[in-house]
């Protein structure tokens, strides 16, 4: 009988995790060192999230050839 290996696929890739950690560090530095209000960072993040998510969703061009 063969032994089945159960490979675990992570939900978050290492690249995604590193990007999130870098963004959290940038937010922490902006709030603590530069005294940027958290509301301003939230608003700027929401404004940047819209076009970035659009680029990620449309990266294949919608072609299923």
Instruction: List Cβ neighbours of 41 (8 Å cut-off, separation of 6 or more).
Output: 27, 30, 31
Inter-CA distances, 48 with 2, 41, 54, Å: 50, 10, 10
pLDDT of residue 37: 96
Domain boundaries, the chain: 14-57
The structure tokens listed for 25 are: 């560090």
What are the pLDDT digits (tens) for 17-31?
Answer: 999 999 999 999 999
**How large is the average pLDDT for residues 34-50?**
95
Decide which of 65 and 10 is more confident. Answer: 10
Q: What is the three-class DSSP state of 18? A: helix
What are the pLDDT digits (tens) for 1-17?
Answer: 555 665 567 777 888 89
Confidence of residue 65 (pLDDT cuts 50, 70, 90): low
């Amino acid at each position: 009988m063969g032994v089945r290996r159960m490979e675990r696929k992570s939900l978050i890739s290492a690249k995604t995790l590193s990007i999130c950690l870098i963004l959290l560090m940038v937010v922490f530095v902006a709030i603590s060192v530069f005294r940027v209000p958290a509301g301003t960072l939230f608003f700027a993040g929401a404004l940047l999230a819209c076009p970035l998510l659009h680029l990620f969703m449309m990266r294949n061009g919608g072609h299923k050839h």
